């Protein structure tokens, strides 16, 4: 005659209470997020410049101006070197 018994290993036993569903280790005091209906996305930008009308950004304009300036200086240097006998 066999006796039915419950066999639990030591690894299955725990002295800690079970974790609640939706528990987040990074934010233990936050409740689980509730799904919200999708709303149309707002245009929200932390930058000061928002491109519009196909313009280049101030950074792109400055880069282009620097490129033109250094090209101008390089041409002047080469012309000055060619003029020296």
Least confident of 24-28, 67-71, 81-85: 24-28
C-alpha–C-alpha distance, residues 74 and 5, integer Å:
91
Q: Is residue 18 part of a domain?
A: no
Tokens of 4: 């039915």
Q: Which domain holds residue 62?
A: 56-85
Q: Is residue 29 part of a domain?
A: no
DSSP symbol at 11: G
Look at the pTM and tell me if it is higher than 0.85. no
Q: Is residue 51 part of a domain?
A: no
Q: Is residue 33 part of a domain?
A: no
What pLDDT does residue 58 have?
87
In sign, the C-alpha dihedral spanning 68, 72, 73, 75 is positive
Q: Is residue 39 part of a domain?
A: no
Q: How many structural domains compose the chain?
A: 1
C-alpha–C-alpha distance, residues 28 and 76, integer Å:
66
**What average pLDDT is seen over the chain?**
74
């Amino acid at each position: 005659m066999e006796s039915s018994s419950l066999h639990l290993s030591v690894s299955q036993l725990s002295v800690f209470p079970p974790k609640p569903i939706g528990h987040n280790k990074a934010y233990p005091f936050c409740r689980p997020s509730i799904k919200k209906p999708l709303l149309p996305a707002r245009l929200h930008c932390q930058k000061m410049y928002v491109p519009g009308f196909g313009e280049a950004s101030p950074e792109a304009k400055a880069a282009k101006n620097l490129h033109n300036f250094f090209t101008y200086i390089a041409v002047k240097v080469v012309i000055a070197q060619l003029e020296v006998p």
